[in-house]
Amino acid sequence: MSVVRFGVSLEKDLLDALDEFVQKNKFSNRSQAIRQLIANNVVIQKWECNNLVVGSITLVYDHHKREILQQLNDIQHDYHDCILSSQHFHLDHDNCMEIIAVKGQAVQLTELSDRLIAVKGIRHGKLTMSRT
């Protein structure tokens, strides 16, 4: 992939915000930060247009909660066509984390993550999507 150089004109407050973003995220330069911001915007557009995307769903839960594992498993079977893989981690005696790799239409992945996160006993859940 070739790199093209171009000039950008920004108001001082936007340049300050960009420099703060660079520093906060430990980018080596402004170009790297701008690339990341554009890539994030592309992902959001694909998400909103219901394009094919990939991602992960991260869940943290107390595995002692009654029937939580069965409920999570049942929901995942309903979406077997977009689940690539899942990994289960034991965080401590009570808490587990599950990371589910997914690929599909953005709306379908959002629906899947919403259903999983809504299961009673989920302490934290997050869907992260990326472009293919």
The parent domain of residue 117 ranges over: 52-131
Treating both helix axes as pointing N-terminal to C-terminal, what angle do 106-117 and 30-48 enclose, rounded to 10 degrees? Answer: 90
Q: CB under 8 Å to 84, separation ≥6 — which residues?
A: 101, 102, 103
- Give yes or no: residues 74 and 122 share one domain: yes
List, in sequence order, every beta strand (DSSP E) within the chain.
52-62, 83-90, 95-105, 122-131
Q: pTM here?
A: 0.72
CATH number of the domain at 96, please: 3.30.70.1150
- Give yes or no: residues 40 and 74 share one domain: no
- Counting as low any pLDDT under 70, the low residues of the chain are 1, 46-47
- Give yes or no: residues 58 and 98 share one domain: yes
- Give yes or no: residues 61 and 98 share one domain: yes
In a domain, 28, yes or no: yes
In a domain, 60, yes or no: yes
- Residues 29-47 have pLDDT tens digits of 898 888 888 877 777 776 6
- Give yes or no: residues 83 and 98 share one domain: yes
- Residues 100-111 have pLDDT tens digits of 999 999 899 999
